[in-house]
Amino acid sequence: MLSSAVRTFADSDAYAATIQGATVELTVTQNTDFAAKLTSVRLHRLWMQRYRESAGTIRHARPVPDRAIVSFLTQPGPEVTLNGIPTPPGRLMRFSPSQEFYRRSAGRVTSQSVSLPIEAMAAGGRRWRGVTCCHRVTH
């Protein structure tokens, strides 16, 4: 099914519940009003999301088991870590199927993610064998 949506949120729980491809728990870590904007696009098997968050957060995510996810920051900003590893803008983070992770941001952040069914990502990966572009986040 093809679909797209742009949503804005003032409630962090409503925002977390709308993120597709994972179960997300979000804790706002700054004493400020929270605002988020989530842009979602579904092109059959390819799902894309853009996240804009106005305050520092800790995100615990449990991706669905049948999808492979690649995520990246789209703009410079405050420090962001994934499972304690600093993640500068431009670095791709690839997650193993069902790999839980924690993302901590120290302030306003803009990021994107792309996900595909595992078999589609694996087929595409064979075409890119030998290209080193990803940083795998591990526990």
Per-residue pLDDT of the chain (139 residues; tens, 9 = 90+): 799 999 999 999 999 999 998 999 999 999 999 999 999 999 989 999 999 999 999 999 998 888 888 899 998 989 999 999 998 888 888 877 778 999 999 999 999 999 989 888 777 665 544 433 444 444 4
| Alpha-carbon torsion angle 24, 19, 137, 135, nearest 10 | -170
Amino acid, res. 5: A
CATH number at residue 24: 2.60.120.10
Apex 70 CA angle, 67 and 75, nearest 5: 145
Q: How many CB atoms lie within 10 A of CB 55?
A: 19
pLDDT at 126: 55
Domain tally for the chain?
1
Bridge partners (DSSP) listed for residue 67: 117
Amino acid, res. 51: Y
**Which range of residues forms the domain containing residue 119?**
2-136
φ, ψ for residue 123, nearest 5 deg: -65, -45
Is-contact 64 20, C-beta < 8 A? no
Closest C-alpha to 22, from 68, 56, 54: 68
- Rounded CA-CA distance 83/91 in Å is 15
